Amino acid sequence: MWQIDKQNRFIIKKLADEAIIFDRYSGSTHLLDTLSSEILTLLQSQPHGLGDLAQNLKVKFEFPSDKVLNFSLEQHLLSLSSQGFIVNYPSDTFPDLPETLSH
């Protein structure tokens, strides 16, 4: 289950189809592309599983195939995770969430 690292840590602002993110802990600012921006916006509202993220992105963006979408999503999650913006918790950390949101 993917979620924003800590809800108050980041400020995310959408600027047209990009986004900028401010890290209150480090004072650093980062520029995010469209897909990363959308993923963070989704995760800001609530934690999402991989499948659910893919479903949401499929509605908003055009991908040549599900394979490309999944590959792209995983790459972006990895990148956001390595920058410390998001974390992946085991799904049983959130027992109250509906089944469809679990990884």
Partner 1 sequence: MILSQICPKLFHTEISHNGVTINIGPYKVNICSTIHNVAQDIYRLYDVYEAEIHADFADIYIQIEQGSGFRRFFKRQAIFNNDGTQPFTPLPIDQAYAQFEWGLNWAIANQSHQYLMIHSAVIEKNGKVVIMPGAPGAGKSTLCSALVNNGWRLFSDELALISLEDLSVTPVPRPISLKNESIDIIKNFVAKPIFGKVAYDTHKGTVSHLKAPLESVQRANEIAPAQWVILPQYQASSKTKLTEFSKGHTFMEVAQQTFNYHILGATGFEVLSDLIQQCDCYRFNYSALPEAIELFDSLV
Task: List contacts with partner 1 (CB under 8 A).
Answer: 11, 13, 15-16, 18-20, 22, 24, 27, 29, 31-32
> Which of the 8 DSSP states describes residue 30?
E
3-state secondary structure of 103: coil
Rank residues 24 and 60 by Cβ distance to partner 1 and give the closer one: 24
CB of 87 to partner 1, least distance (A): 21
CB of 31 to partner 1, least distance (A): 5
Rank residues 11 and 68 by Cβ distance to partner 1 and give the closer one: 11
- Best CA proximity match to 33, nearest among 13, 14, 19, 51: 19
- Report helix angle 66-82 to 50-60, nearest 10: 120
